[in-house]
Amino acid sequence: MKEIDILGKTFIPYIAFEEIEHAIINMANKIYEEYKDEVPVFVGVLNGVVMFMSDFLKNYPGQCEISFLKLASYEGTASTGKVCVQMDIPVSLEGRHVIILEDIVDTGNTLVELHRILTEKNVKSLKIATLLFKPDAYKKDLKVDLIGLSIPDKFVVGYGLDYDGYGRNLPDIYQIKSY
């Protein structure tokens, strides 16, 4: 891994895939322990969740269903604070055990909105699992049930995460270089 340039910004290698994968295996096993007698629905939040969700599912040993929704909240490296649904879940989640899968929880704006949207779908239970969490940026009271890796309040790209649409295909995670 070496420094990369995206739209004139420099990003430095930060979390290698091996460490990401290790965190994901732990998450999958923890969730399985809790849901092994159920068939949970994993709801992925597009687009950022693509890599995390596929590796998570490959390591989830039980039966499950999957669904997706798409939200938008971010432009560049600063949150706009506004969240809107771009693509809703096309099936009923009524009476289901739902686990939200997120790539990253930053301020928590997106998560609170997501939680509200899914609660309205009359689910049986609702939990939140995120690969990355920025504790210093988080501003909400809502409990994040499962965290893969906690990171400082610095912008990261790769492994599904983008900087203005770029960098999602990087297999590892990079952190913005501060001077």
Residue 54 is a binding residue for ligand IMP (CB under 6 A) = no
Among 28, 35, 93, 110, binds ligand IMP (CB under 6 A): 110
Question: Using CB under 6 A, which of the segments 16-24, 27-35, 84-92, 150-158 binds ligand IMP?
Answer: 150-158
Report d(CA 27, CA 131) in Å as an integer. Answer: 9
Query: Which one of the listed residues 5, 37, 88, 106 is annotated catalytic?
Result: 106
CB-facing half-sphere around the CA of 166: CA atoms within 13 A: 11
Q: Tell which positions 112-141 bind ligand IMP, by CB under 6 A.
A: none
Q: Which residues pair with 66 in a beta bridge?
A: 42
| 55 versus 102: smaller Cβ distance to Mg ion | 102
Pick what 155 binds: ligand IMP, Mg ion, none; C-beta below 5 to 8 Å, kind-dependent.
Answer: ligand IMP
Report d(CA 17, CA 171) in Å as an integer. Answer: 6
Query: Catalytic: 106?
Result: yes
Cis bond before residue 59 (omega within 30° of 0): no
**175 contacts: CB under 8 Å, gap ≥ 6:** 11, 12, 14, 154, 155, 156
Among 6, 103, 144, 173, binds ligand IMP (CB under 6 A): 103
Give the helix/strand (H/E) hosting 73: strand 65-75
CB of residue 163 to ligand IMP, shortest distance in Å: 7
Instruction: Give the residue numbers marked as catalytic.
Output: 106
